Structure 1
Amino acid sequence: MKKALIAIAFALTSVVAAAQDIVKVVYHVNTGVETAAAILNNITNELKASPTDKIVVVTHGPGIDFLISDAKDSKGREFSGQVSDLASRGVDFRVCNNTLETRKIDPAKLLMETKIVPSGVAEVARLQAREGFVYLKP
């Protein structure tokens, strides 16, 4: 019985230690499509270096533009494929509802990998204050 309890305690300690190794990062994006390729490349590079990182991309204002279906930058690059790939690797993409309402954008025009949050700015603050996310502003 004592050995079993020690084994359980050791297993729980290992799980907690592994969970503490996960870095949680929020990327705050409020710039247009011309910066989106670089931001998505930064996220891809982060996942190459640290595949267990938990990444949330929070967008508002012009930052949502690359998450609209068929969005392209001035070089004709589309974002849907890279967003889909990153989402399949666990990256969350969150879009500000205030921006959608202000700009009168139909949520159905967003990429299917997105999630709408009430306020992008409030979401960034919540992730930092309540969930311990590290803030990055690329």
Structure 2
Amino acid sequence: MKTVIHVSSPDPNDQREAIANTLNLVGDESVFTPGDDVVGLANGAGIRMFVEATTAQRELVSELRNREVDLRACRNALRGMGVTDADLLPGVDGVPSGSGELARLQDEGYGYIKAP
């Protein structure tokens, strides 16, 4: 299984829900098996979850990394916030364009889930 979860909301509650839904996905043994690929991709104001994270969000992001979820943030959005890859939480990688990354992943057969 290959799945990308897309987050663009600036709302911290939506971001937490997206993280919780991702953890639910990788914890669901009826659909997820070790070795499956899950990507959490933030663009727009959603990148705040990987830059301006609260302590609780940092812990949840750390749990995603521990569960081998690949975390990516749009560099266009980072530039718009006046930050760079160096400002991202550990384990989060910048990608040139969130929209481009979504298109590429879907072209590679990833299922798409739009977070709140």
Question: Taking structure 2 as the reference length, what is the TM-score of the superposition?
Answer: 0.87
Structure 2 CA distance for aligned equivalents of residues 48 and 39 of structure 1: 14
Unaligned 5+ runs, structure 2: none
Structure 2 CA distance for aligned equivalents of residues 59 and 51 of structure 1: 24
The one-letter amino acid paired with 2:59 is G
Aligned sequence identity (%): 35
Tell me which stretches of 4 or more aligned residues in structure 1 moved more than 4 Å.
Answer: none
Structure 2 CA distance for aligned equivalents of residues 39 and 28 of structure 1: 8
Could you tell me how far 1:116 is from its partner in structure 2? 0.5
- How many residue pairs align between the two structures? 110
Aligned pairs for 1:29-44 within 5 A: 29-32=7-10, 33-44=12-23
What residue number does 2:37 align with? 54
User: 2:75–2:84: 8 Å Cα contact kept in structure 1?
Assistant: no
Question: Taking structure 1 as the reference length, what is the TM-score of the superposition?
Answer: 0.74
Comparing both structures, which one devotes a greater share of its residues to strand? Answer: 2
Unaligned 5+ runs, structure 1: 1-22
Matched residue SS, 1:105 = coil
Structure 2 CA distance for aligned equivalents of residues 118 and 101 of structure 1: 10
Could you tell me how far 1:113 is from its partner in structure 2? 1.2
Q: Does 1:67 align with 2:44?
A: no
What residue number does 2:111 align with? 134
Q: Whose Rg is larger?
A: 1
What residue number does 1:15 align with? none
Structure 2 CA distance for aligned equivalents of residues 118 and 88 of structure 1: 24
Q: Deviations over 1:43-98 (max 9, x none)?
A: 111111124331101111111011115x23xxxx6211111111121101101011
Q: Does 1:90 align with 2:68?
A: yes
Structure 2 CA distance for aligned equivalents of residues 135 and 36 of structure 1: 16
Could you tell me how far 1:107 is from its partner in structure 2? 2.7
Structure 1 window deviating more from structure 2 (113-122 vs 45-54): it is 45-54
Q: Which has the higher contact order (CA 8 A, sep 6+)?
A: 2
